Amino acid sequence: MPAIFGPEHVDQLKQFCALFPKDFPIGVEVRHPAFFSKGNAERDLNAWLIEKKYDRIIMDSRPIFAARPDTEAIIDAQQKKPKVPVHAIATAQNPMVRFIGHPLENKNYDLFTPWLSKLPEWIKQGRQPYVMIHTADNIVAPELAASLYRQLQSNIKLPDLNTFPASKGSTQIQMF
């Protein structure tokens, strides 16, 4: 939802979600500050998501805001992405983390560390979490995703990544 989607609009969201089949997987990403203030708006939203078994998409924008705004892509991302606290709550079976990475790979590791324990915890609870990793320009996103996946593999048994197509000019990139 856009940042202007506040608590006064939740009834519209409820009406919209009611149009889908009962077992249709739904994830909701909110950006309005009221949904991050630990007040009634956030509690009510989370209670409704839990009741309906809808996933709250978790925005982790800390890495992009830790970057120096020295490129057009970073400036654009910092203007468009919400700077909200990370609330790592699983409201349904498929929690999704949207990790907006720093353009320098090594600057992401400390900020990804909490996910190295939270994701396995959710898996042990029988949930199937998803992690979407991107960066301001997405140029280093595949390498960052593979690197963070390998870190996660050191904490929990996960299959190896397949080799995936290379960038222009080379034949393939080995990602594990």
pLDDT of residue 171: 39
Measure the CA–CA gap between 80 and 131, rounded to whole angstroms.
Answer: 20
pLDDT of residue 169: 43
pLDDT of residue 41: 97
pLDDT of residue 167: 52
Q: Which residues contact 62 (CB under 8 A, 6 or more apart)?
A: 86, 111
Quick: pLDDT tens for 22-45: 989 999 999 999 999 999 999 999
Whole-model pTM: value is 0.85
- pLDDT-flagged residues of the chain (< 70): 164-176
pLDDT of residue 72: 95
